[in-house]
Amino acid sequence: MEPTNAVAADDLRRLRLDLLRQAAGIYLELAYPSGPVPDAVRRRLQWGEDRSPSELLGGPPFERAGKAPGRQSSIWALRLGNHRYPHMKLQIQPWPNEAGFMLSVNTHDQVAGVNLSEVDAQAFRDLQSENQRLKELIEKAWDDAGLPTFLRYLRDYIESRREAPAPDGP
């Protein structure tokens, strides 16, 4: 993971922090369904009201998680974890939609080349399965709340193509 810096966060200068707070709230409700949210996670959500998106994303607790494929813009992540796994992340990336960004969940559990015993391998697969279930649940809840997700972008794109007039023939 690359170190963060405020200059790269300018890709998300239109990010609405109220929507980011809403997304984090939904995430936490679903990721910690039967227990309290860890104090370390709660501290990651204590953002100053007067900070710009660039300032907020340009330092802890946000991390630059890489670049979107085929794009120069950064993807930013906030490690919120879940009830079984502390490394799952809420991700924010610039996106060509009305909001100017898209939300996603990174399960952060895809590990290559790990040699696990049979018992450990099954436990890890179970963890990955639960993380995937939570990812889908959170992203659906965001979509249902009208937040910018890939599914919403895709639906809007398909709908815009249906409404577009057919090109005139020769």
Tell the burial category of 85 from Cβ atoms under 10 Å away from its Cβ (0-12, 13-18, 19+): middle
Average pLDDT over residues 14-22: 91
- Identify whether 1 is part of a domain: no
Output the pLDDT for position 145: 97
How many whole angstroms from its chain centre is CA 10? Answer: 18
Predicted TM-score (pTM) of this structure? 0.83
- Write out pLDDT tens, residues 148-164: 999 888 888 888 888 76
- Identify whether 124 is part of a domain: yes
- Identify whether 168 is part of a domain: no
Output the pLDDT for position 113: 61
pLDDT at 146 over 60: yes
Q: How many domains would you assign to the chain?
A: 1
- Identify whether 86 is part of a domain: yes
Q: Which range of residues forms the domain containing residue 95?
A: 8-163
- Identify whether 63 is part of a domain: yes
- Write out pLDDT tens, residues 26-62: 999 999 999 899 999 999 999 877 888 888 988 899 9
